[in-house]
Amino acid sequence: MKKTITLLMVILIAETSILALLWLRTSELETTVAELENEKTRLNAELADLKTQTSELTEKLREAESKALPPEAYQLLVGWCEEKGINDFYACVSELVNAASEKSSKVHRVEILEWYDSDIEPVSLKKVIDGDTVVVDSKIVRIVGYDAYELSEEKGGEAKQVLKSILYNSYLRLDVDDLEPRDKYGRTLGVIWFKTRESAWCPLPKLILLRYNDLVKKPLHIPPDEHPYWVWTDRYTILLSTPCLVVVRNCTGTYTSYTDKILLTGGVYKVYVDGVFARRLILMNGSLTVRLNIP
């Protein structure tokens, strides 16, 4: 009987010890789980910070990419990427280069710069009389091609101010009308070219007729008239022999596109291919379609 009791006590002590060890082990496991949960929370917080930083870096990268290209070229590229369903900018650039390589071993850059006619002289502005008459050097010049509102009329003052804003502090050149140098009042008849911020040379009648038409009573043509007003407003189609990155700098601004067809208004232009002067384009009273071979 004593032996049985002793055995039972030994078993009880052993079970108690095992339970104590299990409780200790459970407490250690619970502590480890809590530590792992804390570590998980910390890692999730770091991951969220990294995602935020990545997003910020992506935005800065896109901003840098946009500044690395002319705004028009960047927007054109972004539009092309979206059309192709390519979200990664560099993958899109690579795809564009591959697409261009399939068509040509080299993508040419064509720059078309509006310029002045050959038989003109530099002049300095002395005074703006009204919306179509100025004094340059010692000449009173009646600008041909349009009839602006008179100062006594409602829009006359505005027409004069617009002319001042265009011509003051600009480089100017005068082309006297070879067919009729003076009018019946003794004023010089001709076209004034001015240099734009894009370094193009713009014939003044063209800009007035295209952008400030509301200040013009009517386009004006009095024969013989070396440069009738429609010379500036006619539209010409320039067909390139191969698609190129085209930059046009003209009276109204700078325009960039990847194309093999360009629309230009009448005038005189210089054409550069890959930075080298190629030819002059004289778009005046000729065919409205011009083919331009790109070597």
Average pLDDT value for the chain: 86
Q: Which two tokens stand for residue 291?
A: 């083919």
Model pLDDT, residue 200? 96
What is the value of pTM for the model shown?
0.64
> In angstroms, rounded to a whole number, what is the distance separating the alpha carbons of residues 233 and 115?
16
Length of the chain: 295
What proportion of the chain, given as a percentage, has pLDDT over 90? 60
Tokens, residue 51: 């995602």
Tokens of residue 88, six digits = 């990664």
Give the pLDDT confidence of 95-146 residue by residue, as tens digits: 776 665 555 457 899 999 999 998 899 999 999 999 999 999 999 999 999 9
Q: Which residue has the higher pLDDT, 70 or 189?
A: 189
Q: Which residues lie closer than 8 Å to 63 by C-beta, 6 or more apart?
A: none
Give whole-number Cα distances, 243 to 88, 94, 137, 139, in Å: 25, 18, 45, 46
Residue 157 phi, psi dihedral angles, 5° rounding:
-65, -40
Instruction: Please give the domain boundaries of the chain with CATH numbers for all domains.
Output: 129-222 (2.40.50.90)
Report pLDDT digits (tens) over 194-248: 999 989 999 999 999 999 999 999 999 999 999 999 999 999 999 999 999 999 9
Residue 61 has pLDDT above 60, yes or no: no
Which residue, chain included where needed, has tokens 């703006």? 128
